[in-house]
Structure 1
Amino acid sequence: MSGPEAPPDVIEIRGIRAYGRHGVFAHERADGQEFVVDVRLELDTRPAAASDDLADTVNYGEVAERVHKAIENDPVDLIETLAQRIADLCLDDPRVTGTAVTIHKPSAPISVPFDDVVLTVQRKRREPRD
C-alpha cells in the first residue's frame, strides 16, 4: 500500500500585463484596455532540481510570452474564453498537471466605483481515455 501522493510543486507568474481588445462592447474592441494575468503551474520540479537543467522544467519566461500574446491577439467577448485559452496553453506542456489562471480587468465597463474585476479558472490535465 502506498502513501498519499505528494502535492504538486507550483510555479506562479503574477502580473503579466498586456493590452487587449476583449469585451462585448464596441468601445472595448475599438479602444482596448490593459489586462493583467496571473498563472499558476502545477508540476513536479524534482527532475529539474536534480539535474539543475532548464530542459527538465517549465520555462516560465516562455509561458509568460505565450500568455502575453494570448492577451494581445484574437479578441473574444468574455474573459472566461480568454482564461480558458490561457489555461489550455499552460497545459500544452505535458509536465504541467494543473493550472490556475486569473484574469484581472481593472478597466471593465462598470458604472459604479470598483477596484477590479477578477476571474480565476482552475484546470487539471485530463488523463487519456482508453
Structure 2
Amino acid sequence: MTDELAVTGIECWAHHGVFDFEKREGQTFVVDLVLGLDTRAAAASDDLADTVNYGSLVADVKAAVERDPVDLIETVVQRIADSCLTDSRVEWARVTLHKPDAPIDATFSDVALTITRTRGNAHD
C-alpha cells in the first residue's frame, strides 16, 4: 500500500496544439498530480531528503509543460508522468492535464486527459 501526495492546479503557459495560432499565441494549461509513494521514512526522520520535494517537483512539471511545443496533450501528459517517475521513490503517478481554453466551437468548461503510469511502464 502506498501513500498519496497530491499537488493540484499547477498553472503553466505553453504553446501546444494542432493549430498554428495555438503554437504562436500560447494558452494556459493546468496540471493535477497524485503520486504514490511511501512516506514512512520521512515521517520518522522529519527530513525533506527522505521524501519527494514538491517544490522541486512543481518546477520540473512546469518545465516539462512549458518546453518545446507539441501537437497533442497526450504527448505533454506523458512527458509530465515521465518527469514525476524520475524520482525512484515515486511508485506511480496519476497526471491530469487540463486545457480549459481549447479551441472548441461550443460552450464548455474544460478539456482534460488523465493518465496513470507506474514505475516500469512509464513509456509503455
Q: What TM-score range do you get, normalising by the shorter chain? A: over 0.9
Identity %: 57
Which residue pairs with 1:86 in the alignment? 80
The residue type equivalent to 1:40 in the other structure is V
For 1:39 and 1:79, the matched residues in 2 are separated by 15
Larger Rg: 1
For 1:55 and 1:24, the matched residues in 2 are separated by 41
Which residue pairs with 1:68 in the alignment? 62
1:107 and 2:75 are equivalent in the alignment: no
| CA RMSD of superposed structures (Å) | 0.9
Any unmatched runs of 5+ in structure 2? none
For 1:68 and 1:123, the matched residues in 2 are separated by 19
TM-score scaled by length of structure 1: 0.91
The residue type equivalent to 1:50 in the other structure is A
1:56 and 2:50 are equivalent in the alignment: yes
TM-score scaled by length of structure 2: 0.95
The residue type equivalent to 1:122 in the other structure is T
State the secondary structure of the residue aligned to 1:115. Answer: coil
State the secondary structure of the residue aligned to 2:34. Answer: strand
